[in-house]
Amino acid sequence: MRAVNLIPEELRPRVPGDGDPRIAYGVLGGLALLLVMVLVAIHYSNELKTIEDQTAAITAESQSHRARVATVATTPDQVAADVKTRTLLVGGLAKTRFPWGDALYDLSRAIPEDTTLNDINVSSGGGTEGDTSGSTMSLTGCTSSWVGYSRFMTWLKTMPGVEKVESSSSAVSSAQGGADGVDRTRNCGPAPLSFALEVTYSQRKIDLLGLPKPDAGASGATGAAPAAGTPAAATTPAPAPAPAGSEN
């Protein structure tokens, strides 16, 4: 005989495994979806934090650049004032420095074969405002004769930037060695003429670019020094004009 349960279904006790399994699957899927959403939210939160840090760094760098730009001259007057200040600074530095390397090179080309130098002493000018004194070069040595001495002084006057050449002393002496025992008069002949002279350079001027240039009015400012052993054009004196009323 078949048993019939007369208790309503909603009042019957539940048995494990009884019911629709799709409900359990739905719950598990919902939990998995919730976990994925939490992970995605954490990922984007980390990216947002990184972007905020980068934005703060860029903002700080931008403010630093703006502060630097604010200190840079932007108007034409400010640019002109800055250029003038820098030009005066460079020009002042160049004015206090004399190109002794070029001067000594020119001197080496202006020494005749019958002239020997014993000592070379140089002195730079003050280079300050109102100081008109130029740089000087003191030379001592010997030459073969008075003609050789005159030729040497003439060649010195043709060097670039030289304003004047003055003889301090000159005298004929016997050929003999110096205090250190070295004979420096072998190029000056048997009766050398010992001399001491001073070469004065003109006060240098500074152009708008701060570059030094010699005085345009100085003697030999643009001329080139003659090569050693080559007679200079200035060594041949011009003939004196004939007196009035004289016959040829």
The encoded tokens of residue 207 equal 């152009």
pLDDT at residue 227 in the model: 43
pLDDT at residue 221 in the model: 38
Lowest mean pLDDT among 67-76, 119-128, 182-191, 239-248: 239-248
Q: Cα(17)–Cα(20) distance, rounded to whole angstroms?
A: 9
Based on the structure, what is the number of domains in the chain?
2
Residues 224 and 125 in one domain: yes
Residues 37 and 109 in one domain: no
Residues 53 and 106 in one domain: no
Residue 16 lies in a domain: no
Cα–Cα separations (whole angstroms), residue 8 to 5, 11, 18, 223, 246: 8, 5, 16, 133, 168
Q: For tokens 């100081």, name the residue.
A: 131
Torsion-angle region of 19 (φ positive above 0: left; ψ -120 to 50: alpha; else: beta): left
Residue 202 lies in a domain: yes
Percent share of the chain, pLDDT over 90? 22
User: Comparing 230 with 2, which gets the higher pLDDT?
Assistant: 2
Residue 71 lies in a domain: no
Residue 90 lies in a domain: no
The encoded tokens of residue 59 equal 């903002």
Residues 161 and 223 in one domain: yes
Helix axes 146-157, 100-110, angle to 10 degrees: 140
Residues 129 and 213 in one domain: yes
Residue 2 lies in a domain: no
In this predicted model, what pLDDT tens digit does every residue of 165-181 receive, in sequence order? 999 998 887 655 444 44
Segment 105-129 shows an average pLDDT of 82
Residues 104 and 56 in one domain: no
Residue 5 lies in a domain: no
Q: Has residue 73 got a pLDDT over 90?
A: no
Q: Cα(186)–Cα(194) distance, rounded to whole angstroms?
A: 12
pLDDT at residue 190 in the model: 81
Q: What is the mean pLDDT of the chain?
A: 73
Residues 48 and 123 in one domain: no
Domain that holds residue 177: 100-232
Residue type, 117: L
Q: Cα(117)–Cα(105) distance, rounded to whole angstroms?
A: 14
Residue 12 lies in a domain: no
Residues 155 and 217 in one domain: yes
Residue type, 125: G
H/E stretch holding 137 reads strand 136-143
Residues 47 and 168 in one domain: no
The pTM of the full predicted model, rounded to 2 decimals, is 0.45
Q: How far out from the chain centre does Cα 88 lie?
A: 15
Residues 31 and 125 in one domain: no
Residue 140, domain CATH: 3.30.70
For 70, counting Cβ atoms within 10 Å of its Cβ (0-12 exposed, 13-18 middle, 19+ buried), the class is exposed
Cα dihedral sign, 185-191-193-194: positive
In this predicted model, what pLDDT tens digit does every residue of 27-63 receive, in sequence order? 888 888 899 999 999 998 999 999 999 999 999 998 8
Contact 193, 135 (CB under 8 A): no
In this predicted model, what pLDDT tens digit does every residue of 221-248 receive, in sequence order? 334 444 444 444 444 444 444 444 444 3
